[in-house]
């Protein structure tokens, strides 16, 4: 079973305008809609699109909780397993218009109490040996220590931890041998206490983080649209953005994680899983929504993996 965890999910309210909004006056949108937001939830949605069930952990609460759950009901393969809080799940506003830079106004989110965190940790005790636990998205700074404790408990029970979260957590948990890191060059630099800018530096960083404990280390390059993976078989590279201007880069990395895990559960082949994950990332980048199976299949054949010299 794959479990995802979003520590600070959001109800995302999109407003699309026919014309560029003007400051200081009333602007009326042409279209509005809501989506269930959060990096862990993105992973679950792509898994759903691939026909793979997942359990969704995290915190939900307040007036927006029930509506959030109702949005997830359209995904047959997502099993909500949230911890409910007294605070309100945040509502983020996303403005979109022709010729207008995408503008997001994101709320801070509710305060998570010690009792809330203990309840989440109790829920993670249902994760068994061989299960995957994907912690994706920002973890509130005051929850870092208890989150590390939670992750170590999962690893102790032979759960496979996948991290795309705060550098402080990933740096601390590395010695506990997590299953996978999906990080940026900046995060790689923070983990290793040095600057990581070029693809060559990223490849070396991925290799070092792998040797320090992360079985699979994937670095998604910000500028070139390439992804680099270090694993026992070596260091590999593929291109995510290669067909003109991307439509939507939000969720690209989450889609890659979902695709990798789906393929790895079936094949246990790190290299082919990297290829399939990359095709999922590309499918999202060139779609208005998160990757669908049809789009992923169309990207798979054109996705090439190149082995780099160590």
Residue numbers annotated as active site: 254
For the chain, give percent helix, strand, coil, nearest 5: 40, 25, 35
Sequence-ordered list of residues with C-beta below 8 angstroms from that of 26, at least 6 positions apart, any chain: none
Please, which residues bridge with residue 4 across strands? 56, 134
Dihedral sign computed on CA atoms, order 20, 253, 189, 111:
positive
Q: Which residue carries 């990359």 as its tokens?
A: 278
SS3 category, 18:
coil
Whole-number Å distance between alpha carbons of 18 and 229:
41
Here the tokens at position 230 are 């270090």
Please choose, from the candidates 63, 52, 72, 51, the residue with its C-alpha nearest in 3D space to the C-alpha of residue 6: 72
Please choose, from the candidates 261, 247, 236, 197, the residue with its C-alpha nearest in 3D space to the C-alpha of residue 42: 261
Question: How many C-beta neighbours within 10 Å does residue 107 have?
Answer: 14
Please, which residues bridge with residue 78 across strands? 54
Question: How many C-beta neighbours within 10 Å does residue 29 have?
Answer: 14
Please choose, from the candidates 83, 213, 215, the residue with its C-alpha nearest in 3D space to the C-alpha of residue 150: 83
Whole-number Å distance between alpha carbons of 79 and 56:
6
């Amino acid at each position: 079973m794959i479990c995802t965890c979003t520590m600070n999910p959001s109800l995302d309210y999109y407003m699309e305008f026919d014309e560029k909004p003007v400051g200081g006056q009333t602007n009326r949108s042409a279209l509005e809609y809501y989506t269930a937001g959060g990096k862990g939830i993105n992973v679950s949605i792509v898994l759903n699109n691939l026909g793979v069930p997942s359990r969704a952990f995290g915190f939900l609460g307040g007036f927006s909780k029930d509506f959030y759950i109702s949005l997830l009901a359209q995904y047959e393969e997502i099993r909500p397993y949230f911890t409910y809080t007294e605070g309100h799940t945040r509502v983020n506003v996303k403005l979109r218009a022709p010729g207008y830079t995408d503008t997001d106004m994101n709320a801070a989110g509710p305060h998570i109490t010690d009792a809330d965190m203990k309840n989440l940790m109790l829920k993670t005790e249902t994760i068994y040996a061989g299960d995957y636990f994907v912690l994706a998205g920002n973890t509130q700074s005051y929850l870092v220590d208890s989150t590390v404790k939670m992750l170590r408990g999962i690893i102790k029970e032979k759960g496979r931890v996948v991290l795309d979260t705060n550098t402080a957590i990933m740096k601390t948990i590395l010695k506990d041998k997590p299953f996978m890191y999906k990080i940026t060059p900046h995060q790689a630099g923070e983990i290793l206490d040095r600057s990581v800018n070029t693809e060559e530096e990223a490849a070396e960083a991925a290799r070092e983080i792998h040797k320090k404990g992360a079985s699979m280390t994937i670095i998604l390059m910000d500028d070139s649209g390439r992804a680099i993976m270090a694993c026992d078989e070596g260091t590999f590279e593929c291109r995510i953005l290669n067909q003109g201007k991307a439509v939507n880069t939000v969720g690209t990395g989450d889609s890659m994680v979902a695709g990798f895990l789906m393929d790895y559960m079936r094949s246990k082949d790190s290299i082919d899983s990297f290829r399939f994950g990359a095709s999922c990332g590309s499918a999202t980048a060139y779609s208005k929504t998160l990757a669908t199976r049809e789009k992923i299949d169309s990207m798979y054949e054109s996705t090439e993996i190149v082995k780099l010299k160590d």
